[in-house]
Amino acid sequence: MKNIMMTIKPLTAVLLAGGLISCGGDVKTNTDIAIVDTTAPVSDWQLVWSDEFDGNRIDSAKWTHEINCVGGGNNEEQCYTDSPDNSFVADGKLHIVALPAEDGAPLPYTSARLNTKYKGDFKYGRFEMRAKLPTGQGAWPAFWMLPTDEVYGEWPKSGEIDIMEAVNLKTVNAEGVVEANVHGTLHYGVAWPNNSSSGKAYLLPDGQNPADDFHTYAIEWNEGEIRWYVDGYLYQTQMASQVRVNASGIPVSLAHRGWFAEYFNIATGDLETQWNAAPFDQRFHLLLNLAVGGNWPENVNNLGIDADAFANGQTFAIDYVRVYQCGQDLDSGKGCETIRAGYKDAETLVEGKAPNPPPPPSGIPQNLTIFDGTPNPDWPAWDCCGGSTPALVEDAEYGNVYEFVVAAQPTVNGFVSREAFITDPEGEPSPFDASPLLERGSISFDMQVVSAPPSPDAVWMFKVESNNNSTTGFAEVALSTSSEGVAPVTGQWQRYTFPLQDLQDAGLDLSGIDVVMVFPSWGQGEGAVYRIANLTIAQPNDSPQLDLFTDGENPAWPMWNCCGSTEATEQFDDEARGLVAEFTIGAEPTVVGFNSRENIGAGEAFDASTLLADGLVQFEMKVVTAPTNPDSSWVFKIEAGGAASAVEVPLSNGSAGVEPVTGEWATYTFSVQSLFDAGLDISAIDVLMVFPAWDTGDGAAFRLDNVRIYNPNVASSNLTLFRHNVAQNWTLWDCCAGSTPQRVFAEAPYDAVAQFEIAGSPETVLGFLANDDATHDASALLGSGSVSFDLRVVSAPTNPDSSWLFKIESSSSAVELPLASGNSDQAPVTGEWARYSFSLQSLFDAGLDISDIKVLMVFPAWGTGQGAVYQMDNVEISSN
């Protein structure tokens, strides 16, 4: 449920009524409690507050009625009143009754909502209710908690705890299913409408329905953990997020994804995400209410509200409400937990919605790409004063480029990142601080003069401005003063590079670059037409690399045998490979590999943080002699921070599931990203191991070579197969039906696209084929890359049973998948463009040799495609 204060302003009420998120869990549990040993609360639970409803009136010292018609923030259809018709105590119970409203009432139903704010406020404890729930489509009873002080901000930033909710109990759907779920949910996170919730549904055993009898609903809440119970059975646990930090103490990922909070850091004033007990570390109060309709109940089960179900009223009957606190530790609420075996297993522990921490600083200054063929909404192309609009045009050599013109009105052209000139709703001013790049960075671009200005006095100029200031802190130089030292030649593409140091010496303030211009000298450029591509402010992208063994041992990372008596040695393998590392396993159980720790190696760990997105751990291995134990399996393990973190996986994970073959060299590749995701602190790697599983390796001998951790130059591994035209050394291809796929023009924004048709024989496949001497190595993209493309079916196959497939091949392997698996299982819709993406990691895991990609295909299933016409564009193998 969502709290709306009675003093809510009319405008706020309207906005809230427009659709606050409804409550409810997202996971269902159906438990047989007969096999569970349920533990009663321990003796140190101390009753601190209760209402047994034994009198003849509602105790105003404990409860406050909320009176309003704002719909609970969920478009509910009741007014809350303090009328005894809607809430009263009788027969030892509190009755909350939803009734039809009188004619002319603001909303069609009346009901009651009571809270204990400032009368019963608690931080941590056991909160318990025994109740019988109402029935009918539209009935929404709730027992829940809201923060009393809203320390972290408005809903849901300060949290909400739904102890029990149910909707539409005993309704029967078209399949004959009777609604019987109760739900426990947390709400938290950032401000609505981007808020988060997590929870679980529960079914009573033996087909019981919560509306048929009284049942007990409770939570136990202590610091960092909340548990939900029905009739004493613990069915759900939620926890605060648990953060993994690297060796420098910087958060890098989540060991457990639970709840989170967002609030301002008192010391810095910055809005920060917090992965701790907040917001569920402040005092909360209790609420009881019965809503009618609303966003949740009206959109599930039989939809809407069943007026007949409420004709004579629906009653939420509460026997008691009790609050206990733990005498063991009032500050944390810990020490009295009612738990059972497995209460944090996959069935019971609910994963929350906390975001991962941002990647730690890489320590490497960041580059800026202003334009590389795709318009940058933060840096639009710009004509200062001439009234033209720079045009995005296709160049035969460079693809998408910007074309600028100079007419009679004097002007300068270029790219700008100032608010007055940004028109794309996705764009925002983004001045670039190039100061960290000063030593080795430069501004560079490609340019072609299509038509030179007729004035013989025209000089091509390059100008850069900073910090929204065109009068100071800028640099203006002749284009010919670039590092290349060339003047433009009409009709030729030429590269221009301006070192940042030179531009600073010429007066440029590097701290906030926001305009880059290229133009003929002022007033002399009429008639000029020129094109610009690949504009960047960047420095060479150096990445750390660790070679553990390449043609010899790295003294800082010596070969190592943990626990056995055999010594690792350097051996000459053959003329082509040279020296390799050889390990042998004897009778003593052991692990072997390379170790940099103090007293073994140099004592310096390797920081692979800057390799997170694109880095690889890679080596080649040959089993000389297999272990004598036929059940032995090969393992890869990597440790960091003196074994503070480690990842151990089957060796075959690094070779698409292929086990080592005795006598054959094979390459094994593990992305740094996958190791990080599995829990490795990549900032302090200090041991790398390959070995037969513990105590199964006797008799094994194996060799390793080219063992390294590195970034294999991602840029050279990107391949655009088709964007306006097919890539060099690749062709549009029909395998078997003799058609010739065409390059045709489609409507904006696609321009030229590849079109495939199956007009004759349906026994064919179509796509993109590398020339005989061409291939593509995507190894460098394993951890972060994908195969992606845009596709539109122009005409569907005449066979109604046809299905669409995606296939990719290397010289020795292939992977074929349903096309829909690349678009959230959405099949193509005739006439509509859609984007499809397949991660290289998944293709590699399915068996594709990504170092030798030769063919990419999309087609209707074999023999079913006759009549199909489809188009593709933006076909690429690239980093994500």
Query: Strand 833-839 and strand 730-734: pairing?
Result: unpaired
Radius of gyration of the chain (CA): 34
Which string of b and e fits 631-652 if b means at least 16 CB within 10 Å?
Answer: ebebbbbbbbbeeebbbeeebb
Count of beta carbons in the 10 Å neighbourhood of residue 470:
13
229: phi then psi, degrees, rounded to nearest 5: -135, 145
Backbone dihedral region for residue 715 (phi beyond 0: left; psi -120 to 50: alpha; all else: beta): alpha
- Residue 388 burial (C-beta neighbours within 10 Å; 0-12, 13-18, 19+): middle
- DSSP secondary structure, 146-165, as one string: EESS-TT-STTTT-EEEEEE
Nearest to 210 by CA among 180, 233, 232, 231: 180
Nearest to 466 by CA among 502, 515, 422: 515
Which string of b and e fits 109-123 if b means at least 16 CB within 10 Å?
Answer: bbbbbbbbbeebbbb
Three-state DSSP at 531 gives: strand
Count of beta carbons in the 10 Å neighbourhood of residue 798:
13
Q: Per DSSP, which regions of 71-213 are E strands?
A: 78-80, 87-90, 93-100, 109-111, 113-115, 121-122, 125-132, 139-147, 160-165, 182-188, 196-203
The CA distance from 236 to 349, in Å, is 6
The CA distance from 826 to 411, in Å, is 49
Nearest to 781 by CA among 711, 731, 845, 726: 711
- Token output for 62: 């404990």
The CA distance from 214 to 617, in Å, is 59
Catalytic annotation, residues: 160, 165
> Is the distance from CB of 501 to CB of 438 less than 8 angstroms?
yes
Query: Strand 196-203 and strand 28-30: pairing?
Result: parallel
DSSP-based helix, strand, coil % in the chain, nearest 5? 10, 40, 50
Nearest to 789 by CA among 845, 870, 734: 870
DSSP annotation of 231: T
The CA distance from 691 to 689, in Å, is 7
Three-state DSSP at 117 gives: coil
Nearest to 142 by CA among 160, 121, 124, 167: 167
Which residue has 């006095």 as its token pair? 457
- For residue 342, CA distances in Å to 104, 232, 345 come to 54, 15, 5
Question: Kindly report the CA angle at 59 between 55 and 63, in degrees rounded to 5?
Answer: 145
Q: Per DSSP, which regions of 717-866 are E strands?
A: 719-722, 730-734, 742-745, 752-757, 766-770, 785-795, 804-810, 814-818, 833-839, 853-860
DSSP annotation of 760: S
> Is the distance from CB of 184 to CB of 199 less than 8 angstroms?
yes
- Residue 413 burial (C-beta neighbours within 10 Å; 0-12, 13-18, 19+): buried
